[in-house]
Amino acid sequence: MSYELDPLPYDYDALEPHIDEQILTWHHDTHHQGYVNGWNSAEEELAENRENGDFSSSGGAIRNVTHNSSGHILHDLFWQNMSPEGGDEPSGDLAERIEEDFGSYEAWKGEFEAAAKNASGWALLVYDSFSNQLRNVVVDKHDQGAIWGGHPILALDVWEHSYYYQFGPDRGGFIDAFFEVVDWNEPSERYAQAVEAFE
């Protein structure tokens, strides 16, 4: 099986002025494409090793699958979590669950922003199927700090390539900009799917 990079679900300049066209172009076409290429390459290496019966490089290839597949999946989620019509707050079942699990939307947002400011990779809102609750998670790189049974609902990429060209070292400014384009329709659907599958 070969993985491909889907086009953005909106034009490269669609999120301006909050996130500019150049950032999205580099981030999607170069960085995200790199994870897709890395995943495909690692899968090919594993397949060749199985065929040849030589597993001397398989440990590293397995790690590359984990790293690159996580990078591809999280970036795909990140693009879908935003839209030109974003900037609202969640509603319906997800809003109620955020209030139940965090006390209020403001409390959730404050904690999520703290996760984003401390991550060396990603801040995620996940549905934790083991504990049956929503959690904010700090994930370094793409796969360090993830929770087993945690199903991502909302993803914010805070690698420097996602914001430095436009915001410089002002990561907080980028986090604020993200909330101007978050479209809660997609996370709400993802939450509903997770709850249906595990509750």
Binding residues: 27, 75, 157, 161
- Cα 35 from Cα 155, distance rounded (Å): 16
Q: Quote the tokens at residue 125.
A: 């809102």
Nearest CA-CA partner of 47 in 1, 85, 89: 1
Binding-site annotation, residues for Mn(2+): 27, 75, 157, 161
Asked if 141 and 64 count as a contact pair (C-beta separation under 8 A), the reply is no
**Beta strands 133-140; 121-128: pairing state:** antiparallel
